[in-house]
Structure 1
């Protein structure tokens, strides 16, 4: 299944992102508001430069099956930027997806971050210094996080044939690389 293939083949990227964002500090409650601002600012740039490109690369049938309208996160992270008094910025390099399969790979990264983001939001809401934080982006699906992830994986696993795995992986790697290198 492509979801397992992606998990295995992007593990090093995932680990690098966790290191970049000091994720370990989230669970030992030493994560600061400045650490959080870094995560939000970087994820904002990722979404700004990828969300519309990904969504417009997906067919109407696929968009419907994935419930894309419910997966839009850019407006949510813009609320987080405003609440944290962060300025909207643009990245110094562009991001392109050459096919629907690459777009699906990139969406895998975003949906995976949403899954992890739910855990982050729960943990940080119990951390001193985060009392007034709203977690619009990380808490976007709330109690529907599990079902939204399950739906995404089901569609991905039934839509992508094995001969296209590397193309989907290419899209995931492109987005991870962008995320890890954006300033």
Structure 2
């Protein structure tokens, strides 16, 4: 299954992202609003430079099966930017996907961040200093987070042939590398 292959082969990137964003501070309630602004700003830059490219690279088959119309996160994170009084900006380098398999791999990173983001939103909503934070991006799927993740993994596992796993992994690594270097 390509989803397990991705999980195993991107673990070091996932760990690096958690370290970059000081994720351990979320659970010991020492995460600050400044830490949150950093994570929102970095995710904004990732989405700004990748979401449209990913969506436009995917065929109608994937658009339908993945319900892409319900997965757009850029408008949500732009609301978070505005509520935090952060300026829209651009990254110093570009993100490119070469084919549909790479697009699916990059989407794996974004959908995975949504899964983790739901946990982050729940935890931070109980943390002092976050009373007025809306969590548009991290709470994007609300109670449907598990369903949306399961749908994504099922489509990935059912539609990606084993000979294409390396291309999917390439897309995931490209987006993780972009995410880890934009801030």
Same fold (TM over 0.5): yes
- Whole-Å Cα distance in 2 between the matches of residues 61 and 30 of structure 1? 44
Cα distance per residue 1:73-95 (max 9 Å; x no partner): 00000000000000000000001
- Report the TM-score, using the length of structure 2 for normalisation: 1.00
Match of 1:91 in 2: 91
SS in 2 for 1:31: coil
Match of 1:5 in 2: 5
SS in 2 for 1:155: helix
CA displacement at 1:164 relative to structure 2:
0.3
- Whole-Å Cα distance in 1 between the matches of residues 116 and 14 of structure 2? 11
Match of 1:42 in 2: 42
Cα distance per residue 1:29-83 (max 9 Å; x no partner): 0000000000000000000000000000000011000000000000000000000
Structural RMSD (CA): 0.3
SS in 2 for 1:114: helix
SS in 1 for 2:144: helix
Cα distance per residue 1:144-179 (max 9 Å; x no partner): 000000000000000100000000000000000000
1:106 has 2:106 as partner: yes
1:28-177 equivalent positions in 2, closer than 5 A: 28-177=28-177
Match of 1:14 in 2: 14
CA displacement at 1:113 relative to structure 2:
0.1
Structure 2 alignment gaps of length 5 or more:
none
Which portions of structure 1, spanning 4 or more consecutive aligned residues, are displaced by more than 6 angstroms?
none
- Number of corresponding residues: 183
- Whole-Å Cα distance in 2 between the matches of residues 62 and 137 of structure 1? 22
- Whole-Å Cα distance in 1 between the matches of residues 61 and 20 of structure 2? 36
